[in-house]
Amino acid sequence: MTRRWSALTLVAAAILATPVDAEETASTPFVGITHIVRTETSPRSLKIHVVKIDLTAPSISFKVTPPGGTRETVRQTTLDYIVQERAQVAINAHFFLPYPSSDLNASLIGTAASNGLVFSAFEQPAQNYALVTDAPGLNIDSANNATIVHKDPTDPSGVRALESVRLWNTVAGSAQIVTNGVKTIPCYVDAGHPACELVGPGPAMYSNANSWYSLINARTAIGLSQDGKTMVMLTVDSAGGSQGMSVGEVADMLIRDYAVYNALNLDGGGSTTLAMEDPVTHARSLVNTPSGGAARAVGSSLAVFASPVPPIPTYQLTTGVSPAGSGTMTPATGKFYPAGSSVPLKATPNTGYTFKGWTGDAKGSNAQTSITMSGPLAVTATFIARPTTLSASVSSKSGSTSARVWKIKLSNSGPGAANAATVDGVTLTRTSGSACTPVITMPASFPLAVGNIAPGSSQSASVTIAFAGCSSGNRYSVRIAYSANAGVTSGSTTLTKQSQ
């Protein structure tokens, strides 16, 4: 599924630095929030959502499900939680008990705090075949400083962190799966591994040869970059055509592709849920496909609050060609483009012209270039006519003496085209015979349009001359002036011994 964020989308689709069998579509629906949808075909079909959060961005804040009910929290779906809190992003968090159960009152497994209220302690879980004792937590303080926190061994209550931080919004999972940039999947205690943190066999004979962490399932994970300025939340589905991942595969991906330095594995399987607000419609919905179809009511969720992306201004690009009819250019004039965007320009000469260069807000002589929209811009593609040679002749004469029609033929011997050719004047000078003054009656004035003349071709136009009072034996020198290609090509032909 590719979500489109309308005008608020900053990027649109991009194939990032991922394996060749992975494709990513990234969008920025809110300030400081990047949502990546990733699909893979190897080692199996996968649909992955990654949310990258810039912890330094203005207006970013968080809230973990607060305490309530007869235990620690009241279970609800992550979608219900994001709607309730009017947040922009929410992801499921803690493992919880009892499950399965119709009782919505839940006890969270591990350290938990909501807006400064610590209500669940580091602990030894009943599911020690999957969850390590005193699993580290991820804490986000009121100033968005995010760190991995550990149990203070001197605190018997288990609510205090070893680190000198105030627990503000804190989540915990089954284990820390990335530690200082290295994958750290917990192992099982056995004769060869007495110091491991997991205790089998659990419900499915778990061991180092059959680890719970190696199961292919839906997963939820959360991590931090090395500088602590970027939080990464990841979900991978095991439904809707996606087949799930092992925890180790998730850790590898976080390290390799998203520069995660420390990460926790959160509750997965049917609990894996990611919900987001559409920044255009403001409707909140699930963006992943929960296992089992319906979203599970989970023990806790982590909500993220962010500001809308300010609308990107758009600027108009005015384009044109010079001289008229000499060529074409793209894009068409009058279109609007986002500020800062790069717009490709292309100039294409018509027959008989060559591209000379760009004028206005674009420069250079490359027929294909680009321009960055820094404001309203205007660009003109300038062309010059290829050299060409025109000549004139009179191809026929007809009509009465008072309205004699001469057909003037312009011929183009190339190599370039003669575009928008015109007859610019016809002058008759008597060279022999009785005195008289021929008068051109049509056209009323020059230039007289002839049209476009391809190399090796000719075009004609008619001139009407009144020879009233002139002897049929008179002879004339006739000068025919012409031009084409917006005046770049011009000249004249003089014909001698012409009769009327």
- Whole-number pLDDT of residue 351: 79
Alpha-carbon gap, residue 410 to 391, rounded angstroms? 6
Give mean pLDDT, residues 352-370.
94
Distance of CA 244 to the CA centre of its chain: 28
Mean of per-residue pLDDT scores for the chain: 93
pLDDT digits (tens, 9 = 90+) for 232-260: 999 999 999 999 999 999 999 999 999 99
Give mean pLDDT, residues 410-436.
93
- Whole-number pLDDT of residue 4: 30
pLDDT over 70 (residue 116): yes
Report the candidate in 139, 132, 146 with the shortest Cα–Cα distance to residue 184. Answer: 132
Q: Where do the structural domains in the chain lie, given as residue ranges?
A: 6-305, 314-385, 388-498
pLDDT over 80 (residue 9): no
Give mean pLDDT, residues 386-404.
93
pLDDT digits (tens, 9 = 90+) for 467-489: 999 999 999 999 999 999 888 88
Query: Among residues of the chain, what percentage have pLDDT more than 90?
Result: 88
Q: Where are the beta strands (DSSP E) in 373-447?
A: 377-385, 388-398, 404-415, 418-432, 439-442
pLDDT over 60 (residue 16): no
- Whole-number pLDDT of residue 385: 80
Rounded to two decimals, the pTM is 0.66
- Whole-number pLDDT of residue 315: 97
- Whole-number pLDDT of residue 487: 85
- Quickly count: other Cβ atoms within 10 Å of residue 110's Cβ: 30
The total number of residues written for the chain in this structure: 500
pLDDT digits (tens, 9 = 90+) for 442-470: 999 999 999 999 889 999 999 999 999 99
Alpha-carbon gap, residue 27 to 8, rounded angstroms? 9
pLDDT over 50 (residue 13): no
Give mean pLDDT, residues 345-368.
94
- Whole-number pLDDT of residue 8: 31
- Whole-number pLDDT of residue 19: 58
Alpha-carbon gap, residue 208 to 310, rounded angstroms? 51
Alpha-carbon gap, residue 147 to 141, rounded angstroms? 9
Bond before 153 cis per omega within 30 degrees:
no
Q: Is 473 exposed, middle or buried (CB count within 10 Å of its CB: 0-12, 13-18, 19+)?
A: exposed
- Please indicate whether residue 326 or residue 225 has the higher confidence score (pLDDT): 225
- Whole-number pLDDT of residue 486: 81
- Quickly count: other Cβ atoms within 10 Å of residue 336's Cβ: 11
Give mean pLDDT, residues 363-389.
94
pLDDT over 90 (residue 134): yes
Alpha-carbon gap, residue 275 to 61, rounded angstroms? 16
Q: Are strands 169-172 and 137-140 parallel, antiparallel or unpaired?
A: antiparallel
pLDDT over 50 (residue 6): no
pLDDT over 90 (residue 117): yes
pLDDT over 80 (residue 146): yes
pLDDT over 90 (residue 143): yes
Give mean pLDDT, residues 24-35.
96
Give the ranges where 59-120 is alpha helix by DSSP (H): 78-85
Give mean pLDDT, residues 164-173.
97
Q: Supply the CATH classification number for the domain 388-498.
A: 2.60.40.10
Report the candidate in 98, 223, 73 with the shortest Cα–Cα distance to residue 235. Answer: 223
Report the candidate in 446, 445, 438 with the shortest Cα–Cα distance to residue 469. Answer: 438
SS3 content of the chain, % helix, strand, coil (to 5): 10, 50, 45
Give mean pLDDT, residues 173-188.
98
Q: What is the 3-class SS of the chain, one letter each residue? A: CCCCCHHHCCCCECCCCCCCCEEEEEEEEECCEEEEEEEECCCCCEEEEEEEEECCCCCCEEEECCCCCCCCEECECHHHHHHHHCCCEEEECCCEECCCCCCCEEEECCCEEECCEEEECCCCCCCCCCCCCCCCEEEECCCCCEEEECECCCCCCCCCECCCCCCCEEEECCEEEEECCEECCCCECECCECCCCECCCHHHCCECCECHHHCCECEEEEEEECCCCEEEEEEECCCCCCCCECHHHHHHHHHHHHCEEEEEEECCHHHCCEEEECCCCCCEEECCCCCCCCCCCECCEEEEECCECCCCCEEEEEEEEECCCCEEEECCCCEEEECCCEEEEEEEECCCEEEEEEEECCCCCCCEEEEECCCCEEEEEEEEECCEEEEEEEEEEECCHHHEEEEEEEEEEEECCEEEEEEEEEEEEEEECCCCCCEEEECCCCCEEEEEECCCCEEEEEEEEECCCCCCCCEEEEEEEEEEHHHCEEEEEEEEEECC
15 pLDDT tier (thresholds 50, 70, 90): very low
2 pLDDT tier (thresholds 50, 70, 90): very low
pLDDT over 80 (residue 343): yes
- Whole-number pLDDT of residue 20: 57
pLDDT over 50 (residue 421): yes
pLDDT over 70 (residue 56): yes
pLDDT over 60 (residue 139): yes
8-state DSSP, 250: H
